[in-house]
Amino acid sequence: MQIDIITIFPDYFREAFDYGIVRRACAAGLVSIRAHDLRAWTNDKHHVVDDRPFGGGDGMVLKPDPIFAAVESLTGARRRETVAAGKRVVLLSPQGRPFTQATAAELAQSAQLVLICGRYEGVDERVAEALVTDEISIGDYVLSGGEPAALVVIDATVRLLPGALGSATSATNESFSDGKLDCPQYTRPPEFEGMRAPEVLLNGNHAEIARWRRDAGLDKTKRNRPDLLK
């Protein structure tokens, strides 16, 4: 998989992929990740990427022309309709559809993923209207820029690439994979400051452990995320 990030702060990503599963996936050749400076697709002397909003108001808006040029040079397409099958062009935006484990699994199927990071008041709407295949929000809050959202999308997506996780079953045992949260985990010591790990996890009976894990995952889902069970 090829991941291309379009940003006005490419240095933000300098060491971001040097850790853990994403680093291993890069080293194994499962994914290649590049951050591109949007200013490279400007034609003026000052490399201007933003302008004042039509209609007035505070702040600046990222201009459409450098973004269309960037996506065209990275994907060969200048409109959503002509983006080749297997390629996804994503605008990160609080106004997008919510990013979930299912979205990560969808994106993990692509051969190329282009992520557009907004800044300031956001991105000229013609990018969402005509250029991108997906407009995605990582949650109901407003970040200062799309860069942290790109990191979230990349991490959740890359760990789902075949071969990225140590064990082939890891991703299927995790929270959200079967519509509920994962079970709580414990490790040594068995007793810590008067709190005991559940005895069932220490007795070596695999059938009982599996039953306890399923029930404990359900209990935790009822407590923290009842919406998942509806």
Cβ of residue 146: shortest distance to ligand SAM, in angstroms? 3
Number of CB atoms found within 10 A of residue 33's CB: 20
By CB under 6 A, tell whether 137 contacts ligand SAM.
Answer: yes
By CB under 6 A, tell whether 66 contacts ligand SAM.
Answer: no
Q: Which is nearer to ligand SAM, 71 or 117 (CB)?
A: 117
Residue 24's closest CA among 151, 147, 155? 155
H/E run at residue 196: strand 195-196
Cβ neighbors of 165 (< 8 A, separation 6 or more) are 21, 159, 171
Cβ of residue 93: shortest distance to ligand SAM, in angstroms? 5
Number of alpha carbons in the 13 Å side-chain half-sphere of residue 198: 16
The answer to whether the Cα torsion of 48, 14, 174, 2 is positive or negative is positive
Cβ-closest residue to ligand SAM?
118
Q: Which is nearer to ligand SAM, 90 or 201 (CB)?
A: 90
Cβ of residue 215: shortest distance to ligand SAM, in angstroms? 34
Judged by CB under 6 A, the residue of 10, 66, 118, 217 near ligand SAM is 118
Residue numbers 139-168 binding ligand SAM by CB under 6 A: 139, 141-146, 149
By CB under 6 A, tell whether 100 contacts ligand SAM.
Answer: no
Number of CB atoms found within 10 A of residue 195's CB: 9
Which residues here bind ligand SAM, judged by CB under 6 A? 92-95, 117-119, 121-123, 137-139, 141-146, 149
